[in-house]
Every structure is written in C-alpha cells, then in structure tokens.
Amino acid sequence: MSRRRRTLPVIVALVLAVVAAPAAASEPAPDPAPQPEQWRSYWVDAFNEGIYTPAQVEELVGDALEVNANALIVQVARRYDCFCNRADYPRTDAAIAPAPHDPLDEVIEQAHAAGLEVHAWVNFGTLWNSATPPRSPDHAFNAHGPSATGADRWLNKRVDGTELVGNNSFIDPANPAARDYVVGAIQSIVREYDVDGINLDYIRYPDHNSTTTHSDWGYSETSIARFQAATGRTDVPAPSDAQFTDWRREQITSLVRRIYLGIFEIDPTVRLSNDGITYGFGPQSVGGWEKTRTYAEVLQDWKGWLDEGIIDTVVAMNYKREWMPDQARMFTEWNEVLADWQGDRQTVSGPALYLNEIGDSVQQVRDLLTPTAAGNTVAGWSGYSYANPSLTAAAGSPAVKDAERAALAAALTTGPDAPFAADAAVPSMPWKDDPTTGNMAGTLRLRTGTALDGVTVTLEPVAGGGENRTQVSDGSGWFGFVDLPPGVYLARYDLPDRVAGAPFSVVRVQAGELAEAQPQPFIPLP
C-alpha cells in the first residue's frame, strides 16, 4: 500500500529521464548495493512539541535525518484522544494547529518524502490523566468512565476498590466492549492513514501495585464476572491467585492477537510493534522469564507474543542509567534475551536518552549492537525520546535541548567508529513480505447476537500438514490463529450446555491471507 505510493514519483522521474536522455552505447550502470538493515528510530511523544504544527514536523524530520534514523514512532493516540482527524478516537484537546491541520497526515507526508517510516504510537491502558475531562462527549472517559455503570463502565479497578490513581484512570483489558472499541479504532488509523506500522504502548495491566510479584488490578465487575463464568468459581480471587493471574495475562495476549489480525485484515504489510517492559533485572538474575516483573506484575508476555508470531517487533523500553553499575547490568541482561528470543520476529532495544548523558547513550548503542554469546543481535535502536535527548536536555531550555540533540547526532554518525555513520534500511519482514503461512479468525455468537465467551476452539489440520492448536474465544466471541501452514483445517467448538448448532467449521488457509471461519449462529435451548 504505502510502499507503492511512495515509489511512484521515483518511477515517473526515471521514465522522464530515460525519454529525455540520448541513446548511450555503454552498458547501464549496475543497481546500487542494498543498504544494510538496522532499525533506527526516535520515539516522539505527544506531550512535548514535535508534531503540533507543520513547522515542528519539518524540524523533527530534519533532526531524524541528522541521526541517520529510518523510522519515527509518533504518539498519535496518547489517552484515547487522537492527533489526527479521521480515526475513531476523537481529535485531541491539545494545543495543536487548528483544523484542518492533521498532525498524522503532516508527519506521514514529510517523513515519507524524506524516506522515513512512520509508526503510529497508540496507548492502550491509559484512559485519562486530568481532573478536567476531555471536551468530546464521545471520548471513552466521558462515555465509559466514572459516570457509567455495569458493562458500560470500562475502568480497570484495583483489589482495594481504587479506580483513579491521582487523576490517572485505566482501561479494563477484560471488558469486551472496550476491546472492540480499541481494535476498531486502530483499524481506522490503518485504513485512513498511510502508516507503516502501529506501535502499542501500555498494552498490559497498570503499575501502582503492592508488590512486584503479582498485579493488584483486574477487579471490575465485568472482569470478575467473566473470570467466574470461565472457571466456574464463585469467589473473588486474591491478586496472587495463579488461575486468575493466568486468565488476566491471557486477556492482554488475546487482545494483541486480535489487534494483529485486525491490522492484517486492513493491510497485511503494516507492522505491529509494542513497547516491551523491562523492569528491574533480567530473567538471568531473577530466576527466569516467569519471575520477571514484566510477566508476573504487569502481565505482559511479549516473549510469548514473539513465539506465537502475534507481534512483528518488540521495541523494548530498556530504560537504564549506564552510569549506575546495577542498571548497566540490567541493560545488558535485557539486551541479551531480546537478541536471543527473537525467533522468526524482531526485537529493538530502546534506551532512555533522558537518563544518560550523550557519551553513555553512545556506549549503550554500541552495547546493544554487540552480538550475544549465541551470536545474535537485536534488530536495532529506538531512542526515548526525541524531546529529551540527554540527561542535560531533560532539565534544559529549548535551546539546550536542540544543542544536545545535535551533539547526539554528531556522536552517533561522525568519526571512524560511529555506530550510525552509514545509512541503514528498516529491517524487512519476510513473514509478511514473502509469506509461507496464513492466518484464520472467526466469531462465535448465538442467534440472539450474544457472544459465546470462553469457548475452546481446537484447530485440526485435515490436509496440508501442521499440528492441532487450541485457543479460547474472547468476550466478543472472537478467536484467531496466526502462522498456520497452508491447508484445510477443521475448527471444533466446545459449545456450552444448552447451546445447539454445528460444532465445527471447515476452513481453507492460504499463505499470506486471513481465512474466515464462518460458524452459523448457534441456537440457545430453553
């Protein structure tokens, strides 16, 4: 989609040049060698200047080119408001240039013209963070926040009853309507804008827990009711309850799966990335992946997402101070597993520029690009953030920030051993560019329209190879499978009691496509 449109001016120019040029007897010049692949990006947050006006975007693009970046991760939906005009999210209340200015359109136009990819950064978990509500009545905080009741109340709740931490409110990942809304809103961005990717942030349960070993969140009425229905339990589980913890973690994973296939449905070439948590020491020091705060406390299983193939790129928020020995060790440990756990997908290490001076940030770039003992390296680097490119810049004036940004670019791109001296291309995605597998999705509903939640779906290959796979339908009755060998499959549905209908579908999966399982609406029995 976007790649074809961007190359059209180049093709036209080449055709005109050939027509105008005199015939030459010499052999045509060989094609230039392809650039090496290495991800290089800035995170561009929307709480600071960078995309508010066309002039800011022009400066942003120029600064990205100075550091030899090839991508921008631009915050478009920060708290269910959008720095854009044509998405399901309402337009932001931030002081951007007045309509018809569309920040996302502007970034795409200028960045693509300069050869930079644009990845729309979308926050999931954070709903609102101000005592003043958003102006739009359609904003999720106004429509589904403190004034709403029952299933219309999308707020996450802590075990102690807390829904607001200060002015911060959070979305419940287990609320089916909230999930439907987010998937649709992300699809609207992909449909309406020529983005190269979607970058998910806060795709997890919130912080503000009483311990680092489990999450205190997930206690909304809707969440507890769904958990009880799924397990047959009648109690309210403790935060440390293993079954409840696994169920909550699966709410995040199944949402990532649904977003992945929802994007694929609109444009299979668009990349899905997420901002991966790397709190504290790595798995090497804490006893394995399951003991990390990432997996145990905020319930974000990005390692499992890479293994399943429901994320294209983990852009890890590896925010550590190089000048503190313990944190430097944390940085190294996370880089090692990021490199070694990529499988058929990719990982990027994202250091915190604002926590380090320039020399330490350059050292972190060198460290993350150093192969592990297994010979692996991460796919590249993303600096957090464009607004504050160093520790000095974070406390400095706009002029200081500009000077520090220029100094960082010079340190990364000039000199005999500068890590970004040569240009590089964004790493390709062979699993999408030249796919050998396909995907499948479907929805289970009653004739009344009621979703069948928690139905076990077993996928059995009939012809074409592969192995049995099992998943559970979500609160909207949706299920999906990724990276299936091409062939014919039987999808079996373990229907609940007092529901009648054909308990299976036959589906043909083809490489590079999304097959739809089409079960007939089921009949509720009296």
This prediction has a pTM of 0.93
Q: Residue 34: its pLDDT value, please?
A: 77
Per-residue model confidence as pLDDT tens digits over 257-288: 999 999 999 999 999 999 999 999 999 999 99
- Percent pLDDT > 90 in the chain is 92
Mean pLDDT of the chain: 94
Predicted confidence (pLDDT) at residue 82 exceeds the cutoff of 50 = yes
Task: Give the dihedral sign, CA 252/258/261/267.
Answer: negative
Per-residue model confidence as pLDDT tens digits over 225-250: 999 999 999 999 999 999 999 999 99
State phi, psi for 405 to the nearest 5 degrees: -65, -40
Per-residue model confidence as pLDDT tens digits over 122-177: 999 999 999 999 999 999 999 999 999 999 999 999 999 999 999 999 999 999 99
Rg (CA), the chain: 24
Taking the C-alpha atoms of residue 495 and residue 311, their distance in angstroms, rounded to an integer, is: 29
Q: Quick check: helix, strand or coil at residue 479? A: strand
Per-residue model confidence as pLDDT tens digits over 442-489: 999 999 999 999 999 999 999 877 889 999 999 999 999 999 999 999
Residue for token pair 């829904």: 163
Predicted confidence (pLDDT) at residue 24 exceeds the cutoff of 70 = no
Q: Residue 466: its pLDDT value, please?
A: 80
Q: Which of 263, 336, 339, 345 is nearest to 304 (CA)?
A: 345
Per-residue model confidence as pLDDT tens digits over 181-191: 999 999 999 99
Taking the C-alpha atoms of residue 307 and residue 309, their distance in angstroms, rounded to an integer, is: 6
Give alpha helix (H) positions in 267-299: 283-286, 293-296
Predicted confidence (pLDDT) at residue 13 exceeds the cutoff of 80 = no
Residue for token pair 């990529």: 342
Q: Largest alpha-carbon pair distance within the chain? A: 85
**Which one has a higher pLDDT value, 492 or 8?**
492
Per-residue model confidence as pLDDT tens digits over 313-348: 999 999 999 999 999 999 999 999 999 999 999 999
Segment among 13-27, 151-165, 393-407, 461-475 with least mean pLDDT:
13-27
Taking the C-alpha atoms of residue 380 and residue 71, their distance in angstroms, rounded to an integer, is: 11
Q: Residue 5: its pLDDT value, please?
A: 35
Residue for token pair 């047959």: 232
Taking the C-alpha atoms of residue 514 and residue 482, their distance in angstroms, rounded to an integer, is: 9
Distance of CA 442 to the CA centre of its chain: 22
Cα angle value 118/479/221 (rounded, 5°): 95
Q: In this structure, are residues 185 and 266 in contact, taking their beta carbons and an 8 Å threshold?
A: no
Predicted confidence (pLDDT) at residue 3 exceeds the cutoff of 60 = no
Taking the C-alpha atoms of residue 524 and residue 477, their distance in angstroms, rounded to an integer, is: 15
Predicted confidence (pLDDT) at residue 394 exceeds the cutoff of 70 = yes
